[in-house]
Structure 1
Amino acid sequence: MRSLTVNACVLAIAAGSLLMGAILVWTGRPHFAHLLWTLGALPALGFVLYDVAYSLVRRKAGIDVLAAVAIVGAFLLGEYLSAIAIAVMFASGQALESFAQARAGREMFALLARAPHNAYRMEGDALICIDLDAVRIGDRLLVRAGDTVPVDGLVQSSSATLDESVLTGESVPVERRQGDMLRSGGVNAGAPFEMRAVETAQRSTFAGIARLVESARTSRAPASRLADRYALWFVPISLGLAAIAWLASGSPVRALAVLVVATPCPLILAVPVALVSGMSNCARRGILIKGGAALEGLARAKVLFFDKTGTLTGGQARLVQIQADAPVDKLEVLRTAASLDQVSAHITASAIVSAARERSLRLSLPTEVIEEPGAGLSGTVDGVSVRVGTPDFVCRSLPRPGWSATFLATVGGEGGSAVYVAKDGKVIGALHLADQIRVETSRALRMLRQVGIVHMTMLTGDRSDVAAAIGAAVGVDEIRAGLDPAGKLAALGEVPDGVTSIMVGDGVNDAPALAAAGVGVAMGARGAAASSEAADVVLLVDRLDRLAEAVHLAKASRRIAMQSVALGMGMSLVAMALAAAGYLAPVYGAALQEVIDVIAIANSLRALRVAPLRVSRRRLPAEQALRLRAEHEELLPLLDRLSSLADQVLAMPPEQAVPALRQFDQLLAEKLVPHEAADDARVYPMVAGLLGGDDPMASLSRTHREIFTLARRLHGLVQALVPASVDEAAMREVQRILYGLDAILRLHFAQEEELYLTLS
């Protein structure tokens, strides 16, 4: 399609000629007006003839042939005013389409406008500006305030603040700590920071996004191709109706009027505008769609396949459980392991250090560290020898504790990994790490069913027992475990003909399956770089619920496109009938057709304003949601201490147990109970206002009542304990209350976080 500037110039020439010709007629010089109108219509006629010839070369039936016939016919009949009116109509339609396409793709193409062009490499004490293509893996780069991150890399400074709104649609700046991964395309919203490149410019995230946008810009949707097929019968019908009107009335002017209102058909304008609007709307939500065909595929899809790791789960190891050998505190086990793991680059060590930092534990700097790749580390922490790693590595010369067999069975059954921790020649505990289900997964699957997905299958290479546990937790319809890439392809091949399937994966290991599915969807940052080759859709935000929004927006955009077609063609057919009956002169027909075009395109642009799927029209501010999440993270040490105390309280001597219980009871009174009371008094009323209804927070408020009840009962029992004469039955009741509090608090926090995520 020609640029908006060219179309605007053609429109300006035609409209200016029409206006100046009207002035000449008013001043009594019609012959000069006819000449001016003829000259003003020639540029439009030239472009029309070019479009017709271009369509014929490509063996397509273009609707523009009607405009060419109408303008030439008006000249032959001496209808100079009609000729210039048709030229204005054609030029304004082209300009309107160009403007609408630019408006519809504004958010999508805004990504390219933020493309970095150079980087600042640090060479000794010098800072050198280099071309982006000159960046090499391992280069130390400085990202200045306001600059775009040039390539994918790791943060080398203590922290970095980034605005990733153009990539993800998330307006709140994100914090990255030392060692965290950075995606190219984010903007430095804080102080300058150093980073180390881990990819070249061509292989970085932004390059993959740019390829996707370019592919989307040049692709043609099935509905757009369908418009060309409509032209095969619409053009003959229009010409036939014009001929009938001429023969029935004996006036060629009626035939001209019929052709005028049939030119150009809103069908050609409205469909691409609606689909590009939908793609742009998706881009604003952090959903990048490769082209109109992918958008229509999402709209038709009924069957969904998931890869488990990185899709239903987070794709990264997270701390699930801490096992401590009595009387060691669980947090001390984690602190010891994290202190030693600080110097390791292993992914498991990074997960342990992150868990310790989340709990604000003070880590010590290890010395004399020796690492056995794939096994573990040994070294000195606070002057004491420490070993951290696999059970075989840590227990190579140490006896295994009594809880070891049960702990390993639990870890194996849940598909996780066990990290043992030894200190001063004794195993003091172990850490259970696993790839956990995403917070939003269950909600995302419910949303997908809401938008029309009828069958969901989880594909994974994991063992069947691990896959069954994950599948049952999230509620998929079918589970297929132990699959290699060929097995995943075979599963996709079983989809019946005519049924569109979606495959969701990470864009790397699942590339064959992504390419074979009706629509391949790559998740988050890991999928973006590889997805331009394999996937049709990239979720730039690493959240599965955005897939449900993508399907919802695709369905709405396709529905609006079809509405615009029906509306535009219906009005054009009515106008053609009026023109054939002699009720519509060519000049008025041109004006009416212009109105029809505007109505059809304006309706198509509604796809830009389709609201995402939400439980409420109003939103919880992102800053508020982050604050609430941070409050939960501050309470993580208290939950860990609660779990540790519940496990050990019966085995502890009374002179240790009673002070420990009283100290924990004081923590409950000072931190947990005020937090829950504040939630009930201030947060819940605000959330209830967003949700609507009579009392939408009733169930969570009821949980608060149970937490307060257990806290009061624990306080009463602890105050009654006397170290010199501790009653065993009372201690068992204390342990029962501790376990009850632990279970209800963890469930309650998970429910609240899912709710806040839903509203934010």
Structure 2
Amino acid sequence: MASETNPKQATPTWKSLETLIAVFAIFMIALHLVLRFATGSSPAMANVPLLAVLTFGGIPLVWDLLKKLLRGEFGSDLLAGISIVTSVLLEEYLAGSLVVLMLSGGEALEAYAVRSASSVLRALSQRMPSVAHRKQESAIEDIDLNDLAIGDIVAVFPHEICPIDGTVIEGHGVMDESYLTGEPYMMSKTPGSSVLSGAINGESALIIRADKLAVDSRYAKIMEVMEASETQKPKMRRLADNLGAWYTPLAVAIGSAAWIATGNPVRFLAVMVVATPCPLLIAIPVAIIGSISLAARRAIIVRDPSSLEMADTCRTLIFDKTGTLTYGEPKLVDRVCVDPSRDREILGVVGSLERFSKHPLALAIVTAASDAGCPVQSVSEISEPPGKGLRGTVANRTVEVTSRKKLLAQQPELASQLPPQAGGLECVILIDGGYVATYRFRDTPRRDGASFIEHLGPRHAIRQTMMVSGDRESEVRYLAEQVGIDDVYFSQSPEQKLEIVNAETAKANSIFVGDGINDAPALMAATVGIAFGQNSDVTTEAADVVVLDSSLQKIDEFLHISRRMRRIALQSAIGGMALSIVGMMLAAGGFLTPVAGAICQEVIDVAAVLNALRVALPPGSMIDFEPAETEYS
């Protein structure tokens, strides 16, 4: 009964049946060829395997196609069903068995490649711990996550995933919340800080108080949104179905007219044999498989074949911010010094000290000092108490790196000397107790971001580009100005991202590009979802396309592969159908017998498939915008 009440459960069962039919058909067709040509068996004996294919494989397929006919669906596979029936009536059992193989095999291959909602939800659930470390007095016990109550005290050990939404009551450390919030930085956690379920803890253990039940946590809500996004995504009409919608009625009309005009049913059968839609059933899948292979060689994994058909029809491109249009890591972008002439001196001193720090911004300072050619100086008496900043002695000078808040708490008189607070993150520098500089950090834009955005309209007919991010307004607007995007949404939760993508997709086919768990619902809801990198199993499961080498050039290559696939697939399909229509007219006029029509159709099929195979040959270039000289992630 479950299959009748839950369509999601019925689909895998039917796809599994088609896989079994395809395997059975291959085996039986091979047995037929052995019996006919290797053993010299009688035609009746050699046809037994083919009759088995038509009985056990053809009947279920034809029955499913009959139900489509009753629903008013006239796709290319419906004509294949008519061809199966026609082949039986004509006693062309091998032709009918090949049609069964093409129909079931194509569906089985596609089912293997297409992702399902269950795999995304499974990846989500596997990422979260099933137990929590509850602390009672001095003892810690592991309990089921669902048994946690509001107010329970929970220990989160280093590098663990936080199991619950809560508040830090003991410990100092950092957490990686980027997959959930879009913030590209490790976030400092001290007593009083809030923590989110699903965030990855840093080097220090934290003690938190549970503020919500597991079923009400942020992570659980994302899972709920994921389920909703799958059910809300409309089923896309495939390229073969669009062509078959007019080709199938036309073929039936020609065959019926020939039968009625001559009173000879053989004319109808001859037309049906010629009309077998092999250019649709074979040429288009061949073009898709060839394009998937070409994309894979370019470090682009196509998980849903329909994305290749749909990408070139998309007119809206929606970006997440962090890790897609940015590099996803903080960079030192501004050094505001009290004495600008000491800028390089201060950078060298601070860079030497930060080599010994585990703070998330330390690497950005060390990298900037190295790029500026600052010499490494001797450091001693290093201390970095959790939440207190970094202190040490560099070349006999006391150097301290701390925050604006901590500095003003100790020396409020320095408020007038500090520059206005800007977007991004910052730290303040003191040498020998005196304030000398403020360093500012941002997640920097990709260097080819602006040229990529600019070329989307003229080259790919993208009418609207948008940025939808969970990051703060200052960060989102800063990046939007850098790359040339006017339509921006900031501080967006996964639920809000999903609503925006659904609304835009209702207006025009859309592409969403993201890389975090908070992007997964939007990736599933868009016409085509593209995931950058392999930061999360959840994200890659939700996406239709995964770009392994995080680069905007790869998105451009995918768009070109999609356009080229559609062009060659349409050439093969429409060209093959045009030749088939000529053959149908000859068959209707009595110039082609059913056997001759079958031979004619085979010639047309070979021509269509050979043309479709061109798609796997890499063209000279698949990038038509000015890329950065050096791209890295």
Q: Taking structure 2 as the reference length, what is the TM-score of the superposition?
A: 0.64
Q: Tell me what 1:39 maps to.
A: 45
Alignment of 1:115-194 (within 5 A): none
Aligned with 2:323 (options 310, 314, 320): 310
Distance 1:379 1:401 in 2: 21
Query: How big is the shift at 1:754?
Result: 2.4
Distance 2:101 2:521 in 1: 46
Q: Are residue 369 (structure 1) and residue 382 (structure 2) matched?
A: yes
- Residues 580/386 of structure 1: CA separation in 2 closer, same or farther (3 Å cut): same
Q: Tell me what 1:754 maps to.
A: 628
Distance 1:220 1:466 in 2: 33
Q: Tell me what 2:400 maps to.
A: 387
Q: Tell me what 1:671 maps to.
A: none
Q: Tell me what 1:65 maps to.
A: 81
Consecutive unaligned residues of structure 1, counting only runs of 5 or more, are 22-32, 76-82, 106-135, 140-195, 198-218, 617-750
Alignment of 1:52-451 (within 5 A): 52-58=58-64, 59-60=67-68, 62-75=78-91, 83=92, 86=95, 90=99, 222-224=236-238, 227=240, 238=251, 241-242=254-255, 245=258, 254-263=267-276, 265-324=278-337, 326=339, 329-358=342-371, 362-363=375-376, 366-393=379-406, 404-405=417-418, 408-409=419-420, 412-413=421-422, 415-449=423-457, 450-451=459-460
Q: Tell me what 1:580 maps to.
A: 588
Distance 1:14 1:87 in 2: 13
Query: How big is the shift at 1:275?
Result: 3.1
**SS of equivalent to 1:46:** helix
Q: Tell me what 1:505 maps to.
A: 514
Distance 1:523 1:350 in 2: 23
- 1:418–1:432 contact (8 Å) kept in structure 2: yes
Q: What residue identity is the alignment partner of 2:60?
A: Y
- 1:366–1:379 contact (8 Å) kept in structure 2: yes
Q: Which range is displaced more, 332-341 or 570-579? A: 332-341
**CA offsets per residue over residues 329-377 of structure 1, 9 Å max, x none?**
5444233223322333221113223334445655457444332444521
- Residues 93/480 of structure 1: CA separation in 2 closer, same or farther (3 Å cut): closer
- 2:284–2:612 contact (8 Å) kept in structure 1: yes
Query: How big is the shift at 1:53?
Result: 1.8
Q: What residue identity is the alignment partner of 1:536?
A: D
Q: Tell me what 1:536 maps to.
A: 544
Q: What residue identity is the alignment partner of 2:549?
A: V
**SS of equivalent to 2:322:** helix
**CA offsets per residue over residues 175-208 of structure 1, 9 Å max, x none?**
xxxxxxxxxxxxxxxxxxxxx99xxxxxxxxxxx
Structure richer in helix, relative to its length: 1
- 1:14–1:84 contact (8 Å) kept in structure 2: no
- 1:221–1:291 contact (8 Å) kept in structure 2: no
**SS of equivalent to 2:504:** coil
- 1:49–1:68 contact (8 Å) kept in structure 2: no
Query: How big is the shift at 1:91?
Result: 8.4
- 2:505–2:527 contact (8 Å) kept in structure 1: no
**SS of equivalent to 1:380:** strand
Alignment of 1:541-580 (within 5 A): 541-580=549-588
**CA offsets per residue over residues 588-628 of structure 1, 9 Å max, x none?**
32222122222223333333346453249xxxxxxxxxxxx
- Residues 488/597 of structure 1: CA separation in 2 closer, same or farther (3 Å cut): same
Q: Are residue 607 (structure 1) and residue 620 (structure 2) matched?
A: no
Q: What residue identity is the alignment partner of 2:601?
A: Q
- 2:534–2:540 contact (8 Å) kept in structure 1: no
- Residues 11/354 of structure 1: CA separation in 2 closer, same or farther (3 Å cut): farther
Query: How big is the shift at 1:439?
Result: 0.7
RCO higher in structure (CA 8 A, sep ≥6): 2
Query: How big is the shift at 1:504?
Result: 2.7
- Residues 97/470 of structure 1: CA separation in 2 closer, same or farther (3 Å cut): closer
Q: What residue identity is the alignment partner of 2:88?
A: V
Give me the identity figure in percent. 31
- 2:505–2:526 contact (8 Å) kept in structure 1: no
**SS of equivalent to 2:323:** helix
- 2:330–2:364 contact (8 Å) kept in structure 1: yes
**SS of equivalent to 2:324:** helix
- 1:221–1:292 contact (8 Å) kept in structure 2: no
**SS of equivalent to 1:311:** coil
**SS of equivalent to 1:458:** strand
Distance 1:93 1:492 in 2: 36
**CA offsets per residue over residues 154-192 of structure 1, 9 Å max, x none?**
xxxxxxxxxxxxxxxxxxxxxxxxxxxxxxxxxxxxxxx
**SS of equivalent to 1:520:** strand
- Residues 233/754 of structure 1: CA separation in 2 closer, same or farther (3 Å cut): closer
- 1:463–1:481 contact (8 Å) kept in structure 2: yes
- 1:260–1:586 contact (8 Å) kept in structure 2: yes
Distance 2:382 2:630 in 1: 42
- 1:41–1:87 contact (8 Å) kept in structure 2: no
Q: What residue identity is the alignment partner of 2:90?
A: A
Query: How big is the shift at 1:553?
Result: 2.4
Query: How big is the shift at 1:222?
Result: 4.0
- 1:220–1:293 contact (8 Å) kept in structure 2: no
- 2:259–2:265 contact (8 Å) kept in structure 1: yes
- Residues 525/253 of structure 1: CA separation in 2 closer, same or farther (3 Å cut): closer
- 1:288–1:538 contact (8 Å) kept in structure 2: yes
Distance 2:590 2:443 in 1: 73
Q: Which range is displaced more, 323-332 or 88-97? A: 88-97
**CA offsets per residue over residues 521-563 of structure 1, 9 Å max, x none?**
333343x423145443333222234323323322332343333
Distance 1:85 1:263 in 2: 14
Query: How big is the shift at 1:565?
Result: 2.7
Consecutive unaligned residues of structure 2, counting only runs of 5 or more, are 1-17, 70-77, 114-156, 161-201, 204-232
- Residues 90/18 of structure 1: CA separation in 2 closer, same or farther (3 Å cut): farther
- 2:274–2:597 contact (8 Å) kept in structure 1: yes
Query: How big is the shift at 1:566?
Result: 1.7
Q: Tell me what 2:528 maps to.
A: 519
- 1:310–1:506 contact (8 Å) kept in structure 2: yes
Distance 1:498 1:325 in 2: 53
- 1:302–1:500 contact (8 Å) kept in structure 2: yes
Alignment of 1:707-726 (within 5 A): none
- 2:424–2:474 contact (8 Å) kept in structure 1: no
**CA offsets per residue over residues 472-524 of structure 1, 9 Å max, x none?**
33211323445555554554455373412333333223344444444333333
- 1:14–1:88 contact (8 Å) kept in structure 2: no
